[in-house]
Amino acid sequence: MKIKLNEQPVELHDEGTVFDVRDRFKPDADVVILNGAPVNKDCAISDGDEVVLIQRGEEPSREELEALMAARHTPGVHKRVKEASVGIAGLGGLGSAIAIALTRTGVGRLVLADFDIVEPSNLNRQQYFVDQLGQPKTEALAENLRRINPYVRVETHRVRLDASNVSEVFADVEVLVEAFDAPDAKTMLLESFATAFPDKPIVMASGLAGHGPGSTIQVRKLGSQIYVIGDMESAAQPGRGLMAPRVGIAAHLQANTVLRLLLGEEGE
């Protein structure tokens, strides 16, 4: 009988129960999941069943964690993204959410740049916690990403990006994500990166303030290597602030565009 145990194929030479599997392979497991549902009572297992054994507080090995996290990926996706390197300029509402999405996707290396600290006003939309107030965003986000997947390589740069350092900080990324608020900073980043790396794509955002319909946030391709996510109109202003739902839609569309670029699907 063949089953999947923590997403790895295992052959059992006799019939048994799910607790038999636990006692044989991971007797200290606190949680037993059979075919996607936690079980509290012993029951028989059948050919093709999927069993996940979890010991609370234990950090899985790299191989086990990757197998479990990639279990719902399309075949071949994890191998490609594991080899990828992505840069994120700005770690606010967009950048912090994009980093988390790419970490959960399994992107192998993230290069994060921001000079700012976590402030109370950030908590309405940014992926930080109250006990991280006052910390540099680079340090706080790297800590949060490690809690999700400690095997993603996170390179941080606590620096104010300008035309003199963009090409150095993001020298070896495959895709760059722009996640700034200020229009002049967006322009500087685009010009600096495109000049240094004309063949590398940059994924930007424009127009995501307020609480208008999420359907107006779209992906637009401008030129050969520029992708802009947003409605191109809704700038933050008095009476129309930046709020978690709409910022989150844009951030995840940016992350999805990065994934499609890494897989060679965007721009087809």
- Residue 268: per-residue pLDDT: 42
Instruction: Return the amino acid letter for 7.
Output: E
CA distance 195 to 188: 11
The structure tokens 């721009």 sit at 267
CA distance 140 to 232: 30
pLDDT digits (tens, 9 = 90+) for 168-203: 999 999 999 999 989 999 999 999 999 999 999 999
Neighbours of 173 (CB within 10 A): 20
Exposure on the CB side of residue 43, measured as CA atoms within 13 A:
13
CA distance 175 to 202: 6
The CB-based long-range contact list for 53-58 (8 Å cut-off, 24+ gap) reads 53/5, 53/6, 53/21, 53/22, 53/25, 53/26, 53/29, 54/29, 54/30, 55/26, 55/28, 55/29, 55/30, 55/31, 56/30, 56/31
Of the listed ranges 146-150, 152-156, 199-203, 214-218, the one predicted with least confidence: 214-218
- Residue 260: per-residue pLDDT: 95
- Average pLDDT over the chain reads 93
Q: Estimate to the nearest angstrom the gap between the alpha carbon of 243 and the chain centroid.
A: 20
Residue 3 CB partners (closer than 8 Å, separation 6+): 9, 10, 12, 21, 45, 47, 48, 49, 50, 51
Helix (H, G, I), strand (E, B) or coil at 30: coil
Q: Sketch out the chain's domains with CATH numbers.
A: 2-58 (3.10.20.30), 77-262 (3.40.50.720)
- The yes-or-no verdict on residue 222 having pLDDT over 60 is yes
Q: What's the whole-number mean pLDDT along residues 200-208?
A: 92
- The yes-or-no verdict on residue 102 having pLDDT over 70 is yes
- Residue 154's pLDDT band (cuts 50, 70, 90): very high
DSSP symbols for 72-130: GSPTTHHHHHHT-EEEEE--SHHHHHHHHHHHHHT-SEEEEE---B--GGGGGTSS--G
CA distance 101 to 88: 12
Q: Enumerate the β-bridge partners of residue 183.
A: none
Q: Are strands 175-178 and 153-157 parallel, antiparallel or unpaired?
A: unpaired
CA distance 163 to 254: 23
Q: What's the whole-number mean pLDDT along residues 40-53?
A: 93
Q: b or e along 220-236 (b: 16 or more beta carbons within 10 Å of the residue's beta carbon)? A: eeeeebbbbbbbeebbe
pTM listed for this prediction: 0.89
Q: Which two tokens stand for residue 37?
A: 């549902």
Q: What's the whole-number mean pLDDT along residues 133-146?
A: 98
DSSP symbols for 130-193: GGGTTSBHHHHHHHHHHHH-TTSEEEEE-S---TTTHHHHTTT-SEEEE--SSHHHHHHHHHHH
